[in-house]
Amino acid sequence: MTSSPSCPRWVLPLCLLVFAGVARGASEEVDPFESFLRPAHPAAEGFSPWPDLSKARAGSPVSALARGRVVSVGPERDRVTLEHLVHENHELVRVRTEYSGLEAVELRADALVTRGQVLGRVGKTSRPSVSLVSDRRLSIEEARRFTSSRARLPQPAAEPVLVLISHAKHQLRLYERGIERARVEVGFGQETGPKEERGDNRTPVGMYFIVHTHRGEFPGPYGAYYGGHWLKVNYPNPWDALRGVERGWLTEKTRERIARTWEAREATEASTRLGSGIGFHGWKGEWSLEQTQGRLSWGCVVFHPRDIATLYERMPRGTMVVLF
């Protein structure tokens, strides 16, 4: 059913970047829940400020901007490239940082590094540099804005409670600090595809937080369809708001307000063309995937009555929810 958070610190203020793609494992059969939660190497927890190496003295240390994996080391051991995995909305994306003009690089390919770990030292004769690459090599100003807006990044596996939902699998999994505790079947909106605007009867994809819960009776002609339970998430989020700005539906000021309140895990704007009132609820009776194809609501995630009754208290306010 429907009712009604400026980019957060780790979202690029003008959202200039289009990442190279979702970080996937080699096999197409990889469990999407596990590949999101436990990628090939640990996701970055945040980026250090962009360094100014123009006045760096020979012998001074050069450190990794974020946690990542060594992709390559130059044959002269004077440069190193790191890959970083970043949780960006409902996707896990790859970016690279490249460091050159170094000496005494002692790392090897595939080694894991932590943010602030010394990679090497400024060479005596070469000019040190660092660059950031996504789908393209960023300018210094873009790279500076990228790192400053991602000083802190989400770590879903560390959340006290995390809910992951797969549209393709019609499945929800509940985790407590990365440990799976429950797995249930769910349904979605009556129309397929990610939600775009109010009234399209689609369920969103993205990262949200539970901001309101209620159990009991619901008034009105559609009250029975809640199945006695309601957990609202803070749709729209900053990425939804960016879509709204690009389409002329939202002002930049509204987008900034949505991002601030979303990051605070509070309810976001309810009156824009993007729509609102997305959450979890039960149903007026039992339903089956075979009979309904899981297309039930006006955009919410629908539980079987027995499952919502069991899991309701295990999804408190502030719970991170990721739909993909």
Looking at this protein, which amino acid is placed at residue 256?
Answer: E
Q: What's the pLDDT score for residue 14?
A: 34
At 247-301, the pLDDT tens digits run 999 999 999 999 999 999 999 999 999 999 999 999 999 999 999 999 999 999 9
Beta bridge partners of 280: 231, 301
CATH (residue range 32-149)? 2.70.70.10
The side-by-side arrangement of strands in the sheet containing 112-113 is: 112-113, 68-73, 80-88, 91-100, 129-133
Dump pLDDT digits (tens) for 223-237.
Answer: 999 999 999 999 999
What percent of the chain lies above the pLDDT cut of 70? Answer: 91
pLDDT at 9: 42
Say what percent of the chain tops pLDDT 90.
86
CA atoms within 13 A on the CB side of 154: 28
pLDDT 10s digits, 180-205: 999 999 999 999 999 999 999 999 99
SS3 200: coil
Q: What is the pLDDT of residue 55?
A: 83
pLDDT above 60: residue 6: no
> Per-residue pLDDT tens for 106-128?
999 999 999 999 999 998 888 89
Dist. CA 209–CA 307, nearest whole Å: 20
Q: Dihedral through CA 132, CA 137, CA 139, CA 142, nearest 10? A: -60
Q: Most distant CA pair in the chain: distance in Å?
A: 77
Q: How many alpha carbons lie under 13 Å from residue 81 in its C-beta half-sphere?
A: 11
Phi, psi of 44 (to 5 degrees): -65, 140
Q: Average pLDDT, stretch 49-68?
A: 93
Query: Which of the four pLDDT bands, split at 50, 70 and 90, describes residue 15?
Result: very low
Q: How far apart are CA 69 and CA 94, in angstroms?
A: 11
What's the sign of the alpha-carbon dihedral 299, 273, 317, 263?
Answer: positive
Q: DSSP class of residue 233?
A: E
- Where in the sequence numbering do the catalytic residues fall? 281, 300
Mean pLDDT of the chain, nearest integer: 91
CB half-sphere exposure, 315, CA atoms < 13 A: 31
**Class for domain 159-323, per CATH?**
mainly beta
Contact 249, 272 (CB under 8 A): yes
Neighbours of 222 (CB within 10 A): 12
Res 25: pLDDT: 42
pLDDT band of 104, cuts 50, 70, 90: confident
pLDDT confidence band for 28 (50 / 70 / 90): low
Cite the beta strand spans of the chain per DSSP E: 61-63, 68-73, 80-88, 91-100, 102-103, 112-113, 118-122, 129-133, 162-166, 171-176, 179-189, 206-215, 229-233, 279-281, 295-297, 301-303, 320-323
Confidence of residue 11 (pLDDT cuts 50, 70, 90): very low
Place of tokens 């170094």: 102
Where do the structural domains in the chain lie, given as residue ranges? 32-149, 159-323
Side chain identity at 133, as an amino acid letter? V
141 class by beta-carbon count within 10 Å (0-12 exposed, 13-18 middle, 19+ buried) = exposed
